[in-house]
Homo-oligomer: A and B are copies of this chain.
Amino acid sequence: MSGASATFRCVEPASRRGRPRSEDARQAIVAAALDLLTRTGYGAVTIEGVAAAAGVGKQTIYRWWSSRSALMLEVLREVARLNIRDRDRGSLEGDLEGFLSDTFALARRIPAIPALLRGLMAEAQLDPTFLATLRRELIEPRRAALAAVLARAEARGELRAGQDKDLLLDLAFGFLWYRLLVGHAPLAPRAARALAHALCLAAGSSQARRRPDR
């Protein structure tokens, strides 16, 4: 997800021997996994179920993905293929609000995305190897994208000198994941604004707007 997809593209040697991979099968698998996910929930997705729903042999799944989590990570990439553009809005608060509300909006628009994120984070907790993968493929690219926003603000002089930028990243993504995982409050547009404002205050941004009355 985000603009990082190019990074993870499989690099295929110019010519390969043997029967080439079936793109049909790949798409059927990803589509079946997505369908099962939305109909039965992440926990009820099984390799056997996906294979049956996709009309595919189990081995064809295992040939290309090492585990359910690896498959679901690809499903996430497929579903969230659209990059979240990071336009420069001229101020830290504006940039933050743009980044966060775009992110929140994506999660709201495609209900599979929260389900995928929650399931992937869950599996990462039960499988240390996959946690490393998830950090590399998902967590770090998103942190880098938000870090770029902060770097721009720093260049503008909007950050207090010596401000710990990792702290701000943890606050922003912590808020996001916490709401996602606990589900006690939605990722509403208003929440994006409030979070952006709070981050600006925490960052000591002199330009922090007056809090709107609502």
Write out, one digit per residue, whether chain A residues 141-179 have a CB within 8 A of any chain B CB (1) or not (0): 000000000000000000010101011101101111111
What is the minimal beta-carbon distance from A206 to any residue of chain B, in angstroms?
12
**Interface residue from B43, B174, B177, B202 paired with A201 (Cβ < 8 Å):** B202
Interface pick from A48-56, A104-112, A125-133 = A125-133
Q: How many residues of A contact B (CB 8 A)?
A: 46
Instruction: Tell me, yes or no, whether A124 is within 8 Å of chain B by CB.
Output: yes
| A131 (CB) vs chain B CBs: closest residue | B183
Q: Is A42 an interface residue (CB 8 A)?
A: yes
Q: Which residues of B have CB within 8 Å of A181?
A: 121, 124-125, 177, 181
A185 and B202 within 8 A (CB): no
The reply on A139 being an interface residue by CB < 8 A is yes
